[in-house]
Amino acid sequence: MTRWIDLEGAVNARDLGGLPTRDGGRTRRGQIFRADNLQGLTPADVELLVGELRLRHVVDLRSNAEVSLEGPGPLTRVPEVRHHHLTLFAEGGLHTDVEADTIDGERVLPWAERVLDEELRVTGFYFGYLRDRPDAVVAALRAMALRDGASLVHCAAGKDRTGVLSALALELAGATREAIVEDYVATGERLELILKRLRGSDTYRGDLDSRPADDHLPRARYIEQFLGVLDDRFGGPLGWLAQNGWTDEDTAAMRARLRE
């Protein structure tokens, strides 16, 4: 059964359910979704998400600039849906997360320079989300775990910021590392559609056009390296979260949310 959610106004929406867990189970469907920008949702999309899928919480990881330039989106006008705007504030491009300009907060890169160690570049700005806005990361995961209806986490492309939060949620739920990587790279199946859609916006076009399309592809080694850094430095994602206010009760809530 496909995990994709077919919408008219977004192209990278899918369910975090249906993935294998370390104890032989599966993550629960219909609880947490992930997506790209929701600005173009149609009335039919809203009806599907809010009516059929019971969406009640939207976690918006876009920056303040993105929300200001693009607008808050049609779901903000739906009274049943609660919005949690939690910018990760670590975008490398002017308004989005399609390019990184730091490695672990220290080395500044020329805008157009190709970095030979691509894993280091990507891991650097993924870890930057955690370094710069640990409060937002923890708050986003808590919002995703709320039980009164489904939740959805999104950014612009639904690739980097959303990919990191989805990976952390799946880790907390006990998904296998292979499943977490599978979910991360699945965005590549929709990459052409994502880039076409974002290039239609003045907000994102400059960032996107600054690099070849292939450079935006989510590769397995990026998320593997990111999780490996957390393993090495903190004993795993849960170790980092625990150092930043995450509790056993929070973990129990996420597992109750995403476990069958």
Residues 42-54: what's their mean pLDDT?
98
pLDDT in the model for residue 12: 98
> Is residue 126 over pLDDT 70?
yes
In this structure, the strands spanning 150-154 and 102-103 are unpaired
User: Residue 47: CB partners within 8 Å, gap ≥ 6?
Assistant: none
Contact, 86 vs 59, CB < 8 A? yes
What is residue 234's three-state secondary structure? Answer: helix
What is the rounded radius of gyration, in angstroms, for the C-alpha atoms of the chain? Answer: 17
Residues 185-211: what's their mean pLDDT?
89
Summary mean pLDDT of the chain: 88
pLDDT in the model for residue 202: 86
User: Residue 4: CB partners within 8 Å, gap ≥ 6?
Assistant: 13, 14, 15
> Is residue 107 over pLDDT 50?
no
Residues 152-169: what's their mean pLDDT?
97
Residue 62's region, left for phi above 0, alpha for psi from -120 to 50, else beta, is: beta
What is residue 26's three-state secondary structure? Answer: strand
Instruction: Say which amino acid occupies 212.
Output: P
**pLDDT category of residue 47 using cuts at 50, 70 and 90:** very high
pLDDT in the model for residue 1: 58
* 239-250 confidence digits (pLDDT tens): 999 999 999 999
**Best CA proximity match to 247, nearest among 131, 141, 133:** 141
The pLDDT > 70 percentage for the chain reads 87
Contact, 163 vs 184, CB < 8 A? yes
